[in-house]
Amino acid sequence: MLIIPAIDLKDGECVRLLQGRMEDSTVFSDNPVAMAADWVNAGARRLHLVDLNGAFAGEPVNGGIVKAIAEAYPDLPIQIGGGIRSFETIQAYLDAGVQYVIIGTKAVKEPEFVFEACKRFPGHIIVGLDAKDGKVAIDGWAEVTDVDVVDLAKQFKEAGVSAIVYTDISRDGMMQGVNVEATARLAQECGIEVIASGGVTNIDDVRALANVADSGICGAITGRAIYEGTLDLAEAQQLSDELTS
């Protein structure tokens, strides 16, 4: 199970939002490429990038920074989310050296877009599902729908997505601990590998997820915890390797 550092991009800087609110951001670095270097040096085997401006604009805004990070680490798998609403955007990111493209809101509003994306770009498509109390949230968490997250995830298994990034939005950035039960249940029921996101706060959260990784959890994204020092990336990856190898 990979421990995946998150680099959230806003106005060219590396930030973290509190529960998805753009006005509630903490700047951790004004040099995201250097930040990526820090995580690679600490043993990261994959990076999770989010174009926050892009998520709200509906098209890439920080694409140049994403490309710079991909060029700096050509052998490192990078996954990017935020504002991916067209095949042209997917193609541009793959051309820039990104390995996986995460489709979020568009996947919920137009599931057929995911099916077509998987046909055009097999092995490169991840779906990002954000949920609160088991219901899917969209548009940067501005709206919680009546759609059940497990039911929607099952549709994407048929499409052939590589993984699902699952965020429990009641926990994200709140340092409250990860929702292990909901994450494991989603992985078991949908039959797609799940990357946990939201609430990975300390080594106990890593241990709890690793202990149920055989349900289909292949990774855990962590952001605020590794920036604020409540989780050590190298230690977390070592523990995960020991428990899931």
Q: Which of 38, 51, 95, 130 is catalytic?
A: 130
Using alpha carbons, list the distances in angstroms from residue 162 to 133, 174, 192, 224: 24, 28, 7, 26
Residues 78 and 99: beta-carbon distance below 8 Å: yes
Indicate if 24 belongs to the active site: no
Report the alpha-carbon distance of residue 76 to residue 97 in Å, rounded. 9
Residue 160 corresponds to which tokens in the numbers above?
């052939």
Residue whose C-alpha is closest to residue 104's, from 95, 92, 117, 91: 117
Amino acid at 10: K
Report the alpha-carbon distance of residue 195 to residue 81 in Å, rounded. 13
Indicate if 130 belongs to the active site: yes
Residue 163 corresponds to which tokens in the numbers above?
């993984």
What DSSP string describes 151-217?
Answer: HHHHHHHHHT-SEEEEEETTTTTTTS---HHHHHHHHHHH-S-EEEES---SHHHHHHHHHTGGGTE
Residues 196 and 163: beta-carbon distance below 8 Å: no
Q: Give catalytic residue positions.
A: 8, 130
